[in-house]
Amino acid sequence: MKTYDDLAGDGGSNVIEQVVSQREKLRKRLDPIKHKISVMSGKGGVGKSSVTANMAVCLASRGFKVGILDADLNGPSIGKLLNVPHSEKLEITPEGVQPAIGALGIKIMSMDMLLPSADSPVMWNEGKDATAVWISMMESQALRELLTDTIWGELDYLIIDMPPGSDRIDNVRDLIPELDGVVEITIPSPISQHIVSKSITKSSQLGVSIIGLVENMATYVCPHCNEEGKLFEGEDVEKLSQEKKIPLLGRIPFDTRVSRQSGSGKLFFEEHADSVTGQAISQVVDNILKFIQNKSN
């Protein structure tokens, strides 16, 4: 009986050829995309996906071609945020899958669009016991397929909306080694800053560039008088950015209209770009663009 060490090459399985082919296909998809940015937070519930969606709309409103990959496979929300109905079926062609089109022509790919119904969960183990490592491998493969099979075309920016936690950045770094960097989202609360601090440390240790830190829900904005008030107790997030030696990209005030579905179906930034919160989102985007420009020079 021969052991694995006795086999020449891959034993006729063509594994190496398949891996090379997958990498080449992924590169073919990603090469026409100028910049790739990951938006993440170690903490859930900080409004990361909402910030991602409105940042994308801000970029698109300036004439950039934008796409979003919803990498939160178990809790996808980008499609809903960008008013893409679950009933909209994706077109599958011999060349790949055509992404859904959201506000201002933003291309979107999300696991949510591949599930049979809006309330269907993602089942990784099909009823069997599964280890965390096995599930992580399945998630990594699913992320690879979403990136590879989607016909992104030429884009200026692909924004990757990450799930909560810092462990998934490993997968993204491996799949997209040319990733321009990570935007970290926090809120003023001490717990959020504590957890996001760990996320920043991990990204730095992995050699992933950190574009900067965004403080979401920094204050509360009255929709009637535009006056700002304190929403959370906590230390100034600028202290965290100084400790980690990363830029503070901006502070985004909480506006109740951000999470409210407008009658027109438009996102918050489309209708309220001139509001206090809209201007804060613009400032964050300005600082991201400055980072990209400086990195390219």
Distant-in-sequence contacts of 237-242, Cβ < 8 A, 24+ apart: 237/186, 237/188, 237/193, 237/213, 240/186, 240/193, 240/196, 240/197, 240/213, 241/212, 241/213
Q: What whole-number distance in Å separates Cα of residue 199 and Cα of residue 188?
A: 16
Instruction: Identify the structural domains of the chain with CATH numbers, from first to last.
Output: 25-296 (3.40.50.300)
pLDDT band for 4, please (50, 70, 90 cuts).
very low
pLDDT band for 43, please (50, 70, 90 cuts).
confident
**Range of weakest confidence among 112-121, 153-162, 185-194, 195-204:** 112-121
Q: Is the pLDDT of residue 1 over 50?
A: no
pLDDT band for 99, please (50, 70, 90 cuts).
very high
pLDDT band for 214, please (50, 70, 90 cuts).
very high
Cα dihedral 81/143/159/179 (nearest 10): 170
Q: What percent of the chain has pLDDT over 90?
A: 42
Average pLDDT over all residues of the chain: 84
* 120-151 pLDDT tens trace: 776 656 555 555 544 566 777 888 899 999 99
Q: Is the pLDDT of residue 73 over 90?
A: no
Residue 240 in contact with residue 186, Cβ under 8 Å? yes
Q: What whole-number distance in Å separates Cα of residue 100 and Cα of residue 128?
A: 32
- Which of 203, 186, 172 minimizes the C-alpha distance to 45? 186
* 50-71 pLDDT tens trace: 999 999 999 999 999 999 999 9
Return the pLDDT at 134: 43
- Which of 218, 212, 290 minimizes the C-alpha distance to 255? 218
Return the pLDDT at 283: 97
Return the pLDDT at 63: 97
* 219-268 pLDDT tens trace: 887 777 777 777 777 677 888 999 999 999 999 999 888 877 665 678 89
* 77-88 pLDDT tens trace: 898 888 887 667
Q: Is the pLDDT of residue 119 over 70?
A: yes
More confident residue, 136 or 279: 279
Q: What whole-number distance in Å separates Cα of residue 152 and Cα of residue 69?
A: 10
- Phi, psi torsion values for 253, nearest 5 degrees: -70, 150
> Structure pTM?
0.86
Return the pLDDT at 6: 54
**Range of weakest confidence among 34-38, 97-101, 256-260:** 256-260
Residue 148 in contact with residue 107, Cβ under 8 Å? no
